[in-house]
Chains A and B, each alone.
Chain A
Amino acid sequence: MSDDPTGQPDERFDGRVDTDGVARQRPVYTESQVIMTTVKAVIPFVMTYGLFITFHGADTPGGGFQGGAIIASVVLMIAFAFGIESTRAWLANSTVVGLGTAGVFLFGAIGFGPILLGENFLEYTAYYPVFGDLLGLKEYEFVKYGMEVVEIVGIAFIVSGILMGLFFALAAGDSHSEPSEADLREGDLRDGADSATLGGESDD
């Protein structure tokens, strides 16, 4: 987390055309002052918009799913500007996994809680006799704030965490496949991805 993701063009790949012209590949990451500066300027606004969409989902279009996707896109933009591998090193795996699992766990807890209290699944008003005096809320407010918790802590956490995770999983690629000739030629790119995986396993 302490690493600044700037200035590490470690995934630079020159996108050369092979001499026999059989295959070509675009560079995975090109360090660009324009993209980095633009992303730095845009990120606060995108993050604010994502949080607004999430927190305001009960009153305006949007909600946890859309807001979570926009929040995850902040990390995707950082990765495109500063390099996927340096962003991977900067973003802890426990953050990504924690967002997803905490979302499922809290949504499930709020949903199944009323069943333990003798009501139906996600019957928010079942919490009123238990927590009504403690929280000082009226019965209908339990529905309102229960929905907010499900939208924000449940869905937005799951979607943002899993979309970030899918991005990095796709970027790392398949660990089963043997390195082919093409992979060996692109040694610098493959080494970065593989060492990240090995480091992550021991980190667990």
Chain B
Amino acid sequence: MTSFLSPTVIQSVGITPIEIALFVFILITAVLTALFRDVLAAIVIFAAYSLGLAVVYTFYRAPDVGLTEAAIGAGVTTVFLLLTIAKTTRPPTDELFEPINWPAVAVCGFFALVVGSTLTAFPAVGDPNSPILTNPEVTGYYLENAYDETGAKNAVTSVLAAYRGFDTFGEAVVVFAAGIASLLVLGREVFTA
């Protein structure tokens, strides 16, 4: 566990050609999702975008997040979106792409610039001098004591279900509330027959 997360391993990661390819893939799929005129095509490309994100998370040693993104983002969300367009009608068109709304592009571009300007404040990927590695009071505590205190080899699970269990309880109740809210909004009393 500790060797898997040791600074030397993280330092050696760097930016590889595979990661660059993944980033380009994610950028292209994100832009195409916005541009495609056909909603079905946009949903399929959005699923590809989620899958690309899941692979990136896995690359950055966050397999728990990657698994969630693949199951929820690429899987369940795509099914829900497909279900939604199956119940709607769309005007027929021969155009492949949506006409570009330039004021919207300007607003989004400005927002991206503002957010992007904070990027320089982040440490480089795998930087051994990043605060999380030089000052590991919290993360170090979890990595050192999680197994002894909880008996779970996956430190993420021990944080989610034990150390930060109150947060997880809130999240679980939010999921439950989403189900109830959907019934309220749709004016139904039952999910199935």
Interface positions of A (Cβ within 8 A of B): 17, 21-26, 28, 53, 57-63, 65-66, 69-70, 72-73, 76, 80, 88-89, 91-93, 95-97, 100-101, 103-104, 107-108, 111, 121-122, 124, 140-141, 143-144, 146-147, 150-151, 154-155, 158-159, 161-176, 182, 196-197, 199-201, 203-204
- A sample of 6 cross-chain residue pairs with beta-carbon separation below 8 angstroms, ordered by A number, consists of A63-B64, A69-B75, A76-B79, A121-B166, A173-B186, A182-B89
Minimal Cβ-Cβ distance residue in B for A175: B187
Most buried by A among B89, B168, B172: B172
A147 touches B92 (CB 8 A): no
Give every chain B residue within 8 A of A63 (Cβ-Cβ): 64, 154, 156-157, 160-161
Give every chain B residue within 8 A of A73 (Cβ-Cβ): 71, 75-76, 79
Minimal Cβ-Cβ distance residue in B for A61: B63
Minimal Cβ-Cβ distance residue in B for A176: B187
Roughly how many angstroms separate A70 CA and B176 CA in the complex, as a whole number?
17
- Interface residues of chain A: helix, strand, loop or mixed (majority): helix
Give every chain A residue within 8 A of B190 (Cβ-Cβ): 93, 97, 197, 200-201, 203-204
State which residues 133-177 of B face A: CB under 8 Å. Answer: 148-154, 156-158, 160-162, 165-166, 168-169, 172-173, 175-176
Give every chain A residue within 8 A of B75 (Cβ-Cβ): 69-70, 73
B176 touches A158 (CB 8 A): yes
Minimal Cβ-Cβ distance residue in B for A149: B161
A103 touches B172 (CB 8 A): yes
Roughly how many angstroms separate A150 CA and B162 CA in the complex, as a whole number?
9
Give every chain A residue within 8 A of B191 (Cβ-Cβ): 93, 96-97, 164-165, 168-169
**Besides A63-B156, A173-B87, A173-B186, 6 other A-B contacts (C-beta < 8 A):** A57-B154, A59-B154, A88-B192, A92-B193, A122-B165, A174-B186
B76 touches A170 (CB 8 A): no
